[in-house]
Structure 1
């Protein structure tokens, strides 16, 4: 994913996670843990804060 700022990225991440959960529901599965990492910085996405940490 590419974005121009953290707010745009947050929207993309929220959409991606909602799609993942929808697919899991269709297949009667549950997502227990999901980690999103920036390969360039090594930082992880903090969904609560809405930014890389």
Structure 2
């Protein structure tokens, strides 16, 4: 059965983890860490918004 109830905490955690891996690589290549953090936060918020409306 499909679980109708959404788990926002896990959605944020998974999105931030996924974006954080890519951002960590970008920072290791010379990207500004604050830009990387902003990208990670934006990706997590976007994932939660998409999860909410889907």
TM-score bucket (shorter structure): 0.3 to 0.5
Q: Name the larger-Rg structure.
A: 2
TM-score, structure 2 as length reference: 0.43
TM-score, structure 1 as length reference: 0.44
Greater relative contact order structure (CA < 8 Å, 6+ sep): 2
Q: Which has the higher helix share?
A: 2
